[in-house]
Structure 1
Amino acid sequence: MEEICTIGKGESLFIKGPARITLRTGRIRIGGADRSRYIAKEGRSCTVEGIQESEVKIVLGSGAQIKKFGAITPPRMWLKYSHEILQKKGIVMIIGAPDTGKTTFAAFLANEALQKGISVAVIDSDIGQSDIGPPSTIGLAFPQHKINRISNVTADEFYFVGTTSVQDICDMVLGLEKLVENALTKADLVIIDTCGYVSGDTGRRLKMQKLQAVTPDIMVALQRKDELNPIIRNWRGEVIQAQVPKGVRKVPRHMRREIRESRWRKAFDKAQERQVDLEEKILLNTYLLSGKRISTEMFEKLLQCTVVYAEEIPEGFFIIKKEKSHEYQVPPVSFSGHTLKMLDAGWEENLVVGLLKDGQCVDLGIIKRINYQNMMAVISCKEHDFDSIKFGRIKVNESGHEIGFIDWC
């Protein structure tokens, strides 16, 4: 089936393949780049953004879908709020539930500041739906020109958290603190976009800990009813309660997943498998190589199974056994008064890791396998110059599909 679609400036099409897209007139952007032709393969999706009034021809295969989103018109009061903020400058944190216009307000405020010659930094702290930087990271950018969409901004720096869900609040807050500190060295206005997790015990704690750590000069609260009242009530800093713009689209969960998969694919595009000597690297967020390697014999007798690797660590013992349980990780057990931490062989396959150089994340990688005899790992990545590996908690393949989580390693 063939369709001719008109896309206005600021509008977008979400297309689920198989589909062939051809630009007829105007200018469009797909995957952050200007394109005149694009093929969305079966099971893959893409977003076509109208940079100007455009017309595209789309040939749809079996099961393909198109969904159109109109441009969001900022409320008039946003100009008043931006004027107040730009007089003060400093740090601005934007909070709100999902689909309330947080990212739209961040772009609007950044554009108003740039138009007035104010230096700007934008931090995207939504690790699940990251627009600046890959998923599982907090991204920092210093835009120099008008922003059509935050997702079109290239990250100047990012902090690897290692998961797309709220598992480690401490690391999320630490990463945000670090990027805010770096942003303040170059920008007069630092805009922090946050995730939509605002309700329940974890959501409230996450937002309050971010606020307390960063102490923004202004908090902008976008709410439809009263969902942010518990956070607003307990924050003693300045708060602007902004109107949610009309036309904000609610993005279905399956679409969020497909968008995240496309960003995973972009992160690992052109990655190559590289041999990495783990003994030459600093390893973070893992028990591996944190103790003394010991014989596996006594553990094989105890567990009646093949043990491929064993270490004595300050907490007790860390082993990797060949036979797989139903889960990758077996709950710790007591062994001669010490804790015995066990992982099944293959726990590391497709695990996302952050690759760091001098403490700064320079790339993401996917561990393919580890040879425990010589401690050589095969990691799929683009960057080869790094001194540290930070182990994440999410498993992803090169197609962008999230295939599992681990609680610890």
Structure 2
Amino acid sequence: MNKARYTQEVPEDRKELLNALNEHKKPVKIMILGGVDTGKTTLATFLANELLSSGFRIAIIDSDIGQKGILPPATISLGFPEGLFESFGEIKAYKHYFVGSITPNQFFGEMIAGVKLLTDEAEKKADIIIIDTTGMISGAGVELKRMKIETVKPDVIVALQKENELEPILKPFEEKTQIFRLEVSKKVRKFSREERREIRKEKWKKYFRDSKSYTVNLNHFIISGTQLFQGEDINENEKSLLEALFKWLIIHGRKIGGKYLIVKVDTSNIPRQVDKNVLQYIDFEKLSNLLLGMIDKDGFCVGLGILKFVNFRDMKAEILTPLDEETIKEIREIRFGRVRVREDGEELGLLDRNAL
């Protein structure tokens, strides 16, 4: 279920890096960069185990939200391994930050905030902090990595590259940060998109395996990550007009700064022309199986839930989660994600950031 496992059979440049880290002033923050299937997590696992064996306190920040080793996906996780481990999957999470997606696209703010906040937490307890990142390194990924480096300020950047694909990211930091450029191991295995999806399916399934269903009053929580509860309710005249005009059954409607946000069900299969600057809508069924982050008073994610049903009139929601009742009492905020997933691990698709 995990792509990367601990091995001491590594290229020689990994051992040179290890020696440098042993001698480096502590605490030290290490950020590992590389494209998809370049061995970032395998390297992080090797470094963590070897440094643990040398007696250092190690923190792992797993920010590869789509191929997480530390469960669950769609979060950034911090763990403190207490002993040698084979894979990230064995590490118990200390804290999570909820991103709500399995891709960084449209979620740069969450990616940067999550890594920064968890790094700050890690610095309180660890000698060495290893930050594993996503494989998004081109296009907008260059800017994401730049902003993440500028915010987190790692002491060491480890660049796993096949040729020079990371140079646009590395160049601004040449004289500011210690950089180790390593070759991609010839033993690295490539995974297809379908294989990645199947691996993630098993992880979702494992995480939600012992879940229970709870009916919660949404009025008792801060609701974030969505505009569905912002602004004011549309009035009956507006509702009737929109239903007649677009042949919808409107389940829920809000007016936010002069713009309408509608949750609807189609009552007729007709073509519709909608000015999205004035009216935004989403199908009611798209809210079913939507991923939720259960957030504590400090802004960290204590666990995930799956939205099964929402009654907008009574402000009640049915949520499936592995969290127990005592933990749910600690939740201050429910944050809407953009992944639709069932408890059996089957992903039903992603919603656009602006959909809600």
Task: Give the TM-score, by structure 2 length.
Answer: 0.88
Residues 5, 87 of structure 2: 8 Å contact kept: no
Shift of 1:85: 1.7
* Aligned pairs (5 A) from 1:20-99: 73-88=9-24, 89=26, 90-99=28-37
Per the alignment, in what secondary structure is the counterpart of residue 250 of structure 1?
coil
Paired with 1:48 and 1:98, the residues of 2 have a C-alpha distance of 12
Q: Which residue of 2 aligns with 1:231?
A: 169
Residues 275, 376 of structure 1: 8 Å contact kept: yes
Q: Which residue of 2 aligns with 1:54?
A: none
Residues 264, 281 of structure 2: 8 Å contact kept: yes
Paired with 2:322 and 2:206, the residues of 1 have a C-alpha distance of 12
Gaps of 5+ in 1: 1-45, 52-70
Paired with 2:147 and 2:3, the residues of 1 have a C-alpha distance of 36
Paired with 1:49 and 1:97, the residues of 2 have a C-alpha distance of 15
Shift of 1:332: 5.6
Moved more, 302-311 or 154-163: 302-311
Higher helix share: 2
Give deviations 1:171-209, integer Å, cap 9, x for gaps: 11111111111111111111001111112x212112111
Paired with 1:192 and 1:81, the residues of 2 have a C-alpha distance of 15
Paired with 1:169 and 1:175, the residues of 2 have a C-alpha distance of 10
Paired with 2:34 and 2:216, the residues of 1 have a C-alpha distance of 42
Alignment-mate amino acid for residue 114 of structure 1: L
Q: How many residues align?
A: 337
Alignment-mate amino acid for residue 100 of structure 2: G
Q: Which residue of 2 aligns with 1:272?
A: 212
Residues 8, 46 of structure 2: 8 Å contact kept: no
Q: 1:110 to 1:47 in 2, by over 3 A?
A: closer
Matched, 1:390 2:346: no
Paired with 1:182 and 1:138, the residues of 2 have a C-alpha distance of 13
* Aligned pairs (5 A) from 1:10-409: 73-88=9-24, 89=26, 90-167=28-105, 168-199=107-138, 201-236=139-174, 237-304=177-244, 305-314=248-257, 316-323=259-266, 333=276, 339-358=278-297, 359-383=299-323, 384-385=328-329, 386-407=331-352, 408-409=355-356
Shift of 1:240: 0.4
Residues 81, 240 of structure 1: 8 Å contact kept: yes
Higher RCO (CA 8 Å, separation ≥ 6 residues): 2
Paired with 2:275 and 2:119, the residues of 1 have a C-alpha distance of 37
Higher strand share: 1
Residues 35, 135 of structure 2: 8 Å contact kept: yes
Which of the pair has more CA radius of gyration?
1
Alignment-mate amino acid for residue 310 of structure 1: G
Q: 1:355 to 1:312 in 2, by over 3 A?
A: same
Q: 1:83 to 1:72 in 2, by over 3 A?
A: closer
Task: Give the TM-score, by structure 1 length.
Answer: 0.77
Paired with 1:325 and 1:280, the residues of 2 have a C-alpha distance of 36
Paired with 1:223 and 1:198, the residues of 2 have a C-alpha distance of 10
Alignment-mate amino acid for residue 203 of structure 2: R
Residues 207, 322 of structure 2: 8 Å contact kept: no
Q: 1:406 to 1:325 in 2, by over 3 A?
A: farther
Q: 1:194 to 1:47 in 2, by over 3 A?
A: closer
Moved more, 390-399 or 205-214: 205-214
Paired with 1:108 and 1:130, the residues of 2 have a C-alpha distance of 17
